[in-house]
Structure 1
Amino acid sequence: MRLPRHSTGLLVYILYLTHIVYGSSFLAFSSVVALGANIICNRIPGLAPSQRAICQNRPEAIVVVGIGAKKGLSECQWQFRKMRWNCTNVGMPEYSMFGRVLPVGRYQGSKEASYTYAIKSAGVTHAIVQACSRGNMSDCSCDKRKGKGRFSKHGWKWGGCSADIKHGLKFSKFFMDAREIEEDARSLMNKHNNEAGRRAVKASMRVDCKCHGVSGSCTMKTCWTKLSNFREVGTFLMERYQKAKQVVSIKGRRRPVFLKLKRSRKPNKKPRRNNLVFLQKSPNYCEYNPKKGSLGTHGRICNRTSTDTGGCDLMCCGRGYNTHIKPRSWKCNCKFIWCCQVTCQQCSEMKEEFTCK
């Protein structure tokens, strides 16, 4: 069952709730609950039954999911900011972060789709774990398996609040995979990339420690696990995107449909769980073609002197570029005068900007 065309309502509602949380705090969430979780959740199109149940029974969780979706979308756009496809159409009305992203046409299973699914799954996982550590979720907190006073195999004690990555992985898998029930090639691809995104969050976690002892002698240490900055997760997945594996779906004699590497010397070799996988090769994204998920590069800002993907030669696909002269002004040569005043001069310059024809 595919999402209806206007399934973007889910993201709109969730981001609305997210705005309430960002604008104040989770203490103000009671104002959202007062609106009636059932009323809000029933008006969100595109939710699978299990997702709708989470929305109704745990409305604070759906807010965190929205935070994670926003985090994933922002990171996707940052990572692809200098490339022809810059993740902008993920936020368009036709494409929901919780439905089928990118059009369901010939290029539905592109490398770009693989990254999008991985980063949105990673974003939700990261947000859930972070909310647990901050005490903003009702059914989780710190990782109880790493309780205070317990010794690790390295000789130091666990302390502080270790991030409960196990809960984050479990929740994200349950919520993000809920729509992938068809067991066709695209659903298998989506679930595989969702899992790769979750694994990226776990792989990027680190251990922080605090020393105890006289004059900082560090005779004893207490340590805890913590999430890395989400930018590290996005960069890690970008490296996986560059090495994404093309797969095909086959049906075994004794097992259901599964994915195998398209180019492999070994028959029926499966991709690794942390690999990003795709089904079809990507278009060049030079021209506007919504059926292929391409907005084109006309009007995109490019770097005239660069030879990488953000340079005008590659970004503009050989069409050339336009030069614009724009004034830019800023405060400069600021001085502090005792007491208590700061005086600045007004500097200006004419700046060149280049856009693709």
Structure 2
Amino acid sequence: MMGLTHPGQPLRNHTKSSSTSRLKHCHRTVTSSDNAPTNYRMYIAYLLILLILTPRVNSSWWYIGALGAHVICDNIPGLVTRQRQLCQKHPDIMQAIGEGAKEWIRECQHQFRHHRWNCSTLDRDHTVFGRVMLRSSREAAFVYAISYAGMVYAITRACSQGELKSCSCDPKKRGRSKDKKGEFDWGGCSDNIDFGIEFAKDFVDFKERRVRDARALMNLHNNRCGRMAVKRFMKLECKCHGVSGSCTLRTCWRAMSDFRKTGDYLRRKYNGAIQVTMNQDGTSFTVANQDFRKPTKKDLVYFENSPDYCVMDKYAGSLGTAGRVCDKVSRGTDGCEVMCCGRGYDTTRVTRTTKCECKFHWCCAVRCKECEETVDVHTCKAPKRAEWLDQT
């Protein structure tokens, strides 16, 4: 999937979906047969079976990232008519969204690299994350929020870099303004985040608004958290003008912060996510536990408790933690006791080559020696077969 590795899982291959291969097989059957009507009916039958067996994850637009520069709108499953129209009308924006998808998935994997669920993706699977997103859990809440944030971030950045035909720098940042330091002139290229937000609303939220069930309301709420997170970290950057840099005059522009800040913020929101239920008229949420506060627009919300992610569970979409690297001495989520779910761990002694004794040489190079060190690597044991069968 998108050339990404699955952090923390170097010793295990992920389960791959066979949906693509089945579809390709159907296509070969239709094109290579002399009996077109019969094989066309067979193709339709296979396609219906494929659609029934494929997990239903609404945000199939995540798959745009796997297509790279060759985004073909008709090849993205699950898009509704409005989304497909926008895709066909704005191929340059779709390419920016695809590049952004790689970035927010990497950020998701960074944030959960030391946890049982580590935001793993599935190769060649249009759902990207598999069945784990079917559950209305706090993990799904986080993914919807950070994916939406990633889309807004990618589109806004592409606008400022002049890569898109339909937008450029923020046109509202013109003339003079002032802040705590005094007056300044708007100049440079302010990031046009309003365009990024509006396009994301039109493209992503449109499908959720058509459904209007409990999961759609949850997704819309967490989408809002994602776009608010990007806007939260907009900053004012300025350049001073004057004699010897005296800053008697300033030219300023609005710019997005590094996406890591958004990832860190949403991760904190994940930790404090609030479990909710639908109210009686099905239009909003109420807290599942009355002892907790009501969620605000900035809080992530979820309906269902998460699985423990300890063992492979195809129904829940859990890949398990067998083979995951853990820290023997840590008492946190990356510790072997927690990561391995009490199953124990194997220890392997490995030799690593690292750079050492680095020295700076004028001007301007850093030269290092290569040193070898022997370390112990601890990996989680697989569950006993009887225990594994109980979960699959």
Tell me the equivalent position of 1:280. Answer: 304
TM score, norm. by length of structure 1: 0.82
- Please give the secondary structure, in 2, of the residue aligned with 1:172: helix
Tell me the equivalent position of 1:16. Answer: 67
- Please give the secondary structure, in 2, of the residue aligned with 1:64: helix
Q: Which amino acid aligns with 2:195?
A: H
Rounded Cα–Cα distance in structure 2 between residues aligned with 1:213 and 1:221: 9
Rounded Cα–Cα distance in structure 2 between residues aligned with 1:14 and 1:337: 42
Tell me the equivalent position of 2:224. Answer: 195
Tell me the equivalent position of 1:163. Answer: 191
1:152 aligns with 2:178: yes
Tell me the equivalent position of 2:237. Answer: 208
Tell me the equivalent position of 1:23. Answer: none
Q: Which amino acid aligns with 2:187?
A: G
1:311 aligns with 2:335: yes
1:260 aligns with 2:286: yes
Rounded Cα–Cα distance in structure 2 between residues aligned with 1:78 and 1:130: 21
Rounded Cα–Cα distance in structure 1 between residues aligned with 2:274 and 2:122: 22
Distance 1:131 1:191, change over 3 A: same
CA deviation after TM superposition for structure 1 residue 102, in Å: 2.6
CA deviation after TM superposition for structure 1 residue 214, in Å: 1.0
Tell me the equivalent position of 2:146. Answer: 119
Tell me the equivalent position of 1:229. Answer: 258
1:7–1:94: 8 Å Cα contact kept in structure 2?
no
1:323–1:352: 8 Å Cα contact kept in structure 2?
yes
Tell me the equivalent position of 1:140. Answer: 167
Distance 1:70 1:7, change over 3 A: farther
Q: Which amino acid aligns with 1:127?
A: A
Tell me the equivalent position of 1:271. Answer: 295
Distance 1:356 1:49, change over 3 A: same
Distance 1:176 1:90, change over 3 A: farther
1:238 aligns with 2:262: no
| RMSD (Å) for aligned C-alpha atoms | 2.9
Distance 1:145 1:77, change over 3 A: same
Q: Which amino acid aligns with 2:251?
A: T
Equivalent residue for 2:120, pick from 74, 88, 99? 88
Equivalent residue for 1:60, pick from 81, 92, 96? 92
Rounded Cα–Cα distance in structure 1 between residues aligned with 2:123 and 2:213: 25
**Which ranges of structure 2 fall in alignment gaps of 5 or more residues?**
1-50, 382-392
Rounded Cα–Cα distance in structure 2 between residues aligned with 1:68 and 1:289: 30
CA deviation after TM superposition for structure 1 residue 103, in Å: 4.5
Q: 1:292-349, CA deviations, whole angstroms, 9 ceiling, x for partnerless residues?
A: 23111111000111111111111111111110001112455578999xx999755322
1:129 aligns with 2:156: yes
Distance 1:331 1:126, change over 3 A: closer
Q: Which amino acid aligns with 1:102?
A: V
Distance 1:222 1:49, change over 3 A: same
1:356 aligns with 2:380: yes
- Please give the secondary structure, in 2, of the residue aligned with 1:327: strand
1:103–1:291: 8 Å Cα contact kept in structure 2?
no
CA deviation after TM superposition for structure 1 residue 290, in Å: 2.4
Distance 1:214 1:59, change over 3 A: same
Tell me the equivalent position of 1:50. Answer: 82
CA deviation after TM superposition for structure 1 residue 132, in Å: 0.5
Distance 1:344 1:207, change over 3 A: closer
Tell me the equivalent position of 2:48. Answer: none
Distance 1:177 1:270, change over 3 A: farther
Equivalent residue for 2:276, pick from 222, 228, 247? 247
Distance 1:347 1:138, change over 3 A: same
Single out whichever of 232-241 and 152-161 deviates more from structure 2. Answer: 152-161
Q: 1:125-155, CA deviations, whole angstroms, 9 ceiling, x for partnerless residues?
A: 00000000011111111111102x3223652
Single out whichever of 65-74 and 343-352 deviates more from structure 2. Answer: 343-352
- State percent identity of aligned pairs: 43
**Which ranges of structure 1 fall in alignment gaps of 5 or more residues?**
21-31
Q: 1:213-270, CA deviations, whole angstroms, 9 ceiling, x for partnerless residues?
A: 1112111211111011011100000000010011111243xxx52222223479xx86
1:209–1:224: 8 Å Cα contact kept in structure 2?
yes
Tell me the equivalent position of 2:136. Answer: 109
Q: 1:192-224, CA deviations, whole angstroms, 9 ceiling, x for partnerless residues?
A: 111110100000111111111111211121111
Distance 1:151 1:316, change over 3 A: same
1:331–1:344: 8 Å Cα contact kept in structure 2?
yes
TM score, norm. by length of structure 2: 0.75
Distance 1:7 1:131, change over 3 A: farther
